[in-house]
Structure 1
Amino acid sequence: MYFDDTSEEQKLFEDIQFKRRVQFVDDDNIIDIAVIPAPKFTEQLEATDQACQVNIQNELKSSAAQTRSKKHKEIQTENFDFDAENNSDLKRVRKIFDKRAQIVEDAILENLNTNAFQNYDVDWYGDDSGITNPFTLINKQFLKEEESQVVAVEWNSSGTTIFCGYGRFDHESVCTHKGSVATWNVDRLKMDPNKPDNLIETPCCVSSISTHPEHPAVVAVGLFNGEIHVYDTRQDDPLVATVTDKKEMHTDEITNVKWVKDPKANKKKFMLLSCSKDGRILIWNALPTKNQLKLVDGYVMLNDFLPKRNIRSLGVEMAVSSFSMNKIDKESFIAGCDSGGLFKCSFNGKNVKDLQKWEEAFPIDLKSPVEFAFDSLHGPIHSISYSPFHRNLILTCGTDSEIKLYSVLQSSCLMSFCPENGYLYSVEWSPSRPCVFACASHNGNILIYDLIEGGKDMCQITKASDSPIFALSFNQQRSEYLASGDRSGVVKIWKLSSNYTKTDSYEIKKLDEISEKPFDKS
């Protein structure tokens, strides 16, 4: 770089210490060029903490990540080529297997055909025969206002919530009481056994309830005055459907309501079936959008179907007191009456002839569902239970104080049990053990029978209450839970031992033997 002597740059040049000077020589001139080193500035940086604009609500901490660093290293083992076809050891092993294979196959076939270990089952759970009571549920607020009884209990489809119906069975005439439906979720950590999660009051006593097979919060409720209500506990206004046409209503107490699959529909559709002491069995289509139960079909039970009927009373309706659907054949069911009549029925019934009074008084033509009549019982039939594991076996109980086991293929009972516990109000098969069933008695006992056992071990008696037990319900999702409801308004949840929940491989065959060969009365 070249500077003039009189320029300001020259003054700056004099103040700078040169490190070196370079001369460039061309053809005519010698040019001095001063190389000016760049000035060295030392900058002192100061870091100050400033407040962040983001307001951190929660304390942040750094933690180690879960990711691990990996390194690949060569191992000392060298690759080894294995020739399976030419390996002499493998050939010898194959020859040994070929010689022993036939011996092992013969032994397996012999084991399959032997009866040596037919009744033997490994007891993985040990000796556990106790029954405990983990929950006792009391609707104290409602019981103070109404001296109601627990007339029905049933678990919802998920098995977490118990639905309880409150009413009375001792009506002398018209019902003047209030009824209610209460629910408790037994899986809740802060469940209050003295206060239900939901409480729905009804205009009169509840006589029957049925939870929906797919919707855990939906329940159908039958009332003493013949009304049917469908409630959804998730809604602010829980009433979602009811019978709007009074001409279609039952004229007497609803004894059973049950959600059933529509046998005529191709897709999965549920209808509501109701039974009443007016002798009618009606099928309804629930229409929540219209807040309506639409009558679809109907049947009537007449004493014409009794095996030994009185001709002078021909054409009189029989009060339907109990009902049970076949778990396998969706078109057949069993109906029991207050007269003691027990009938195998079908939805493919024929229209009833010579019943002009029914046709005039009712909006639709009623059919006769009866296909087969069993031997009559001595008194009203309170409960019927179809076996979930066998299409031909049913249980009944009632005022004759006996539990009777029937096959739908013959009129007389196969077995009868006389527990001497007074009237029997409810009987139900276990959902997990094919040979186990439970029964509720007037003496406050829960009777659990095991058909695999014999003698005194067949029945275990548990004192559940000082009052008669009106209702009983197994949990279909968790078979170790059994709910009971008594006349004093108390609901108890029982936990069954593994003896009544673990399935025995021999049980289905035992049921086949019972259904094919009649047993002596015990």
Structure 2
Amino acid sequence: MNHVEGGWPKDINPAELEQTIRFRKKVEKDESYIHSILHLGSVMEHCIRQNNAVDIYQEYLEEEEEVEENQELPFAKTINVFRDPNEVKRTVTGLSWHPDSGRKLAAAYSCLEFQKTSKDMSLDSYIWDVENPNVPEMTLTPASPLVCLDYNPKDPHTLLGGSYNGQIGHWDTRRGSQPVEVSSVEQSHRDPVYKIIWLQSKTGTDAFSASTDGQILWWDVRKLSEPTDRLVLDLGREGNLDRALGASSLEFEATMPTKFMVGTEQGVVVSCNRKAKTPAEKIVCSYDGHHGPIYALQRNPFYPKNFLTVGDWTARIWSEDIKESSIMWTKYQMSFLTDACWSPIRPSVFFTVKMDGVLDVWDILFKQNDPTLSLKVCDNALYSLRVQDNGRLVACGSQQGEVTLLEICSGLSTLQKNEKSLLAAMFERETKREKILEARQREMRLKERSRSEQSRDEEGGREEGEESPDQLIIRAEKDFFSMVEAELKKRREKEDEQNQEKVVSKGKEVKAEAET
């Protein structure tokens, strides 16, 4: 309908009037042009008559459709289950969707239980075709089991993987199952790599990784012999590796290229700035909010100031402006939460998985106390979770090597009316409420401090005759012990007198006996 001009040849500049007039005259003289116009005219006439007969913009049964949508209960259905093809089953520790089509899913398999690995356990991880659950499309063969995997958003043929022994591997699917390059053991992490993320860069070859050894390492996949940069997560800002916090999750938002966040084993979220001048300035601030390791950390894709964390038995939503407390949180669940992520389509929806095999879908605009949809995916513990970019497909990885693919209903994967503005208002309201509570707490602490200082000043500024409670206690103790001492002295003197009298009376008796 809005089409004005056709495509011009490369040698014609549409902005030059003379060139376009000359080209038009040339085309109009061509015989095939007249035949084409006559042929297309009859087709166009038919379409115009159809449009005149039917109002294509008329909305039929509008009210009924709305009622039907409102009445739909949230649901999810299982599409496929991808099982670990090996006899000894391993935990699905990481998942990554193919960035272009979303028809492929990369899964990292490893055993994270200390010293539970056996000789029969396979090291392989796999790329699955969503429509073929029987056989993996491709095998990735690392030197050590992969804990995490991430597709390159700029080049869908390349993947990065973090291994259990701390090494980083780079795969190109066009070049087979073996990694193209692997980082050296000496320059890699000392603990399992729990998260690896591609960075937004011009070359599309930069990434960074996090491990429980307390280090964040930056890499250029063209040269994995050594990291390009390093950060030690020491909150004392001295770069001491012995005091560093172990990183269990990592977050990077492409719209904030200099910022990144790290979730630690100690339940602390560390906010960092990569472009700071000194290593000490790279650690900006920290948020303390969980009793155990933070297994998931992600900024809201629509409101990056607000981020989601999962650790212990709760999921928490934070605001960057408030460091003392989260602005929203779920009730304590009956089992540990192991992973979480936001919906890429609906800003108010996020997903969590638990150790009891349950997937929870939360819509915080609908209700905050309970999940909107709770689904028992399998009997084993769920360890990993990834949502496809269209928000419809969710993949959950279990302890026994099963990746369950679920399709979420349209109600939970379609943007709702006024959702963005309502959620923005909710986040703002909750942030304001926490700020007021925080100010109140600060005020109470200041009052308490001033009261204690005042009482200390009063003690110091007493008159010479007055004594403090501590001094009175000391004096009372002294008086008590001096009275006891005096009483003991009296008793000793009395005993001495009695003994002397006895001696005198005995002498008199002896003298009398001698005289007689």
CA contact (8 A) 2:141 2:179 kept: no
CA contact (8 A) 1:304 1:315 kept: no
Partner of 1:8: none
Q: Does 1:295 align with 2:227?
A: yes
The two structures, once aligned, show a CA RMSD in angstroms of 3.0
Corresponding residue SS for 1:342? strand
- Count matched residues: 372
Q: Does 1:438 align with 2:351?
A: yes
1:283 paired residue among 211, 215, 218? 218
Partner of 2:145: 205
CA contact (8 A) 2:149 2:160 kept: yes
- Measured in 2, the distance between the counterparts of 1:72 and 1:227 equals 66
Partner of 2:272: 345
Partner of 1:136: 81
CA drift at 1:123: 7.0
Q: Does 1:486 align with 2:392?
A: no
Q: Does 1:235 align with 2:175?
A: yes
Structure (1/2) with the larger strand percentage: 1
Partner of 1:336: 263
CA drift at 1:124: 8.2
Partner of 2:246: 319
CA offsets, 1:402-459, max 9 Å, x none? Answer: 1011001111100110251411111100000000000010110001000110266643
CA contact (8 A) 1:175 1:204 kept: no
Corresponding residue SS for 1:152? strand
CA drift at 1:391: 1.8
Corresponding residue SS for 1:349? coil
- Measured in 2, the distance between the counterparts of 1:505 and 1:416 equals 24
Which consecutive residues of structure 2, in runs of 5 or more, have no partner in the other structure? 1-35, 43-64, 435-516
Corresponding residue SS for 2:335? coil
CA offsets, 1:3-37, max 9 Å, x none? Answer: xxxxxxxxxxxxxxxxxxxxxxxxxxxxxxxxxxx
Corresponding residue SS for 1:467? coil
CA drift at 1:270: 4.1
- Measured in 2, the distance between the counterparts of 1:71 and 1:169 equals 67
Which consecutive residues of structure 1, in runs of 5 or more, have no partner in the other structure? 1-66, 74-120, 307-312, 353-366
Give, as a single letter, the amino acid of the residue that structure 1 aligns with 2:411: N
Partner of 1:386: 299
CA drift at 1:328: 2.4
- Measured in 1, the distance between the counterparts of 2:118 and 2:218 equals 25
- Measured in 2, the distance between the counterparts of 1:327 and 1:215 equals 16
1:273 paired residue among 201, 208, 225? 208
- Measured in 2, the distance between the counterparts of 1:451 and 1:218 equals 36
Of structures 1 and 2, the larger Rg is shown by 1
1:416-427 mapped onto 2 (5 Å cutoff): 416-418=329-331, 420-427=333-340
Identify if the C-alpha distance between structure 1 residues 122 and 293 changes in structure 2 by more than 3 Å, giving closer, same or farther: farther
CA contact (8 A) 2:314 2:329 kept: yes
Corresponding residue SS for 1:517? helix
CA drift at 1:178: 3.7
- Give the TM-score normalised by structure 2: 0.66
Partner of 1:147: 89
1:253 paired residue among 158, 178, 192? 192
Structure 1 runs of 4+ off > 6 angstroms?
67-73, 173-176
Identify if the C-alpha distance between structure 1 residues 68 and 437 changes in structure 2 by more than 3 Å, giving closer, same or farther: same
Identify if the C-alpha distance between structure 1 residues 419 and 217 changes in structure 2 by more than 3 Å, giving closer, same or farther: farther
Corresponding residue SS for 2:136? coil
Corresponding residue SS for 1:247? coil
- Give the TM-score normalised by structure 1: 0.66
CA contact (8 A) 1:175 1:205 kept: no
Identify if the C-alpha distance between structure 1 residues 70 and 430 changes in structure 2 by more than 3 Å, giving closer, same or farther: closer
CA contact (8 A) 1:243 1:294 kept: yes
1:225 paired residue among 165, 174, 197? 165
Deviates more, 1:153-162 or 1:456-465: 456-465
Partner of 2:129: 185
Structure (1/2) with the larger helix percentage: 2
Identify if the C-alpha distance between structure 1 residues 314 and 224 changes in structure 2 by more than 3 Å, giving closer, same or farther: closer
CA drift at 1:154: 1.4
Q: Give the percent of matched residue pairs that are identical in Structure 1 and Structure 2.
A: 21
